[in-house]
Structure 1
Amino acid sequence: MKTTLLAMILTLGHYLSMAQVAGLLKNQTLSKPETQRVRLDSIRKRVTENPRASTIKISPVELPVSTTLNSPTHETPSIGVPIPANASIPIQDRNVIRSYYLDLAYNKTTCILFKSPIRSVDLGSKDIIADKATVVDNVLRVKASRIGFNETNFSVMTADGQFYSFVVNYNEYPTLLALDLSVSEEGMVQQKARSINQKGIVVSFAGVNTSQQEIVQNCAQILKLRRKLKRVGVNKYHMQAKLRGLYYKDNILYYKIGIKNHSNLNYDLDYLRFFVVDKTIAKETSHQELEVSPLYVYNQPLVKISGRQIVEKVYAFQKFTIPDDKVLHVILGEKNGGRTISFTITNKNILDADSL
């Protein structure tokens, strides 16, 4: 009580005369509760009579703790107060997945390349259609199903857990027909693959345990290996085509084929195709029973075999074998020429493939 009374006296000292303050301080020696109550009443009376008393402002910092907490202007934090059911939680930037904006046409297809295989696609309306590209499973083809549709959207979920959002509008003349979303800051291996492939495309193949970037690297390694196969090929029209190596890794078969031009005339390669046929009809004219398409061709741009030069290519196939009564027939055709040559690969050759 003495402490409280002293604090009030010091606070009101600015408004009382020195004699009044001295009298109040002198009375601090009294300790009986009744005497203190009388003195407090005296202080209140003096303050009331003072014309400046109505403007007194007592700082909460200078008052005792109990007085400050009881101040009507003091706000104490609420602990354990439930959030109202209708309260909204603000959306932070880190929670927002931004959308890619695309223009689609009715008579043009837009291809989107993802880093990982596509697991699901959700279309915002029936005005657009989408499906995965043949053979590969990380390339999505999308286009308009009708002319002049209203703005809509679609989303894609990939095997690596990534979610992609797209907003699409109709445009008869879209400026973008291919979008590569496989590029990332840490994709250094992809950049290396592009420098080897010279195409800037990285795709993942369905049914195999590897991606194109790994296939490209394997093909580059195979080209550096010495020839391991002999007597599997053909010599005709001063041209030589031979299987120079057969390798297996991660459910992929790699056929290393060398084409050598022994003449002085350039050989412009029009096609090199593979067919599974019966042994009895594996001739130059070749009855086409079943064509096998490679997943990837390394050195594909090289189609000109100059005179006295050799070109090597690597053809990557998803693993397959053939019955003993059939062979894999390899046919090479010349562009604007008649030098068509072919040779066969047996199932035994395939089973003897070297591990890479």
Structure 2
Amino acid sequence: MKKYIAISVFIVVSALSNAQNSRKLDTIYANDQKNTALFFPQPITQGITGSTQFVFTYNREKQQNFGLLQATPGEESNLLVICGNSIYSYIVKYKKQLSRLNYFVTESESIGNLKSTALISLKQPESRKDVTNKQKHYKEYAAFLLSKKQRKSWLKEKNQGVVLSIENIVFNASELYFVIQVSNESSLDFDLNFLNLSIQTRQRGKRTSVQTLLEQPILQYNVPAKVKANDTKRFVYVFSKFSISKDQKTILELNEKNGARNVALKISHRSINNPH
């Protein structure tokens, strides 16, 4: 196995002044219908909420100066944001009606600074703890999406009373979240065999052929084994971020166990390449 040299940074929080410690934290309000945007004077390197009912999203790959906050009803919590060497902390609360959607943060609102020391070390594979934390984040964000009232499905396909639809495709961090719904409008229960997402590429030449590549989800959240007659189930598939060209199609295929009510839903490149 190759060994890569990387920089690991040990961060030590500097002491806060008495004035900073005594300053009352500002309150930011959010809900599940709109995005509350926070604009910082420096790119965001880390953002953490104290409760899963609040979700703070920001670009982890290409650091940017803004992040988006959403919330579901519940108790208040807190939000900690690190930008460069500056630390910002806020109380966050759910509010059904928002009078303010944009917050422009100034450097004077920082509650403290970071002092960093860089040391040369060997890069190690992801620890079990890191993997567990990622899985926890995927599950929490998937649960958050299911708790939100989605817009009317714009992608759906039906076969013999079984309706497969995509409520939303959301990009978060470096993953794509597919919010999926299966409705059984028939009088027979539907037993799920598998639900696969694949990319089809048309190969042009003397003989036209189609190459199919199966995309493996990194998380399947709340997936049912059965959808009873006249019932509906909603769940989430999480994939590592991908995009497709105009010559490619994405197919979401629902297969019935010991049955023929199979449904194949075609997804355009626009829907995949322009998630919410």
Q: TM-score, normalised by structure 2?
A: 0.49
Larger Rg: 1
Tell which has more relative contact order, 1 or 2 (C-alpha 8 A, sep 6+): 2
Q: TM-score, normalised by structure 1?
A: 0.39
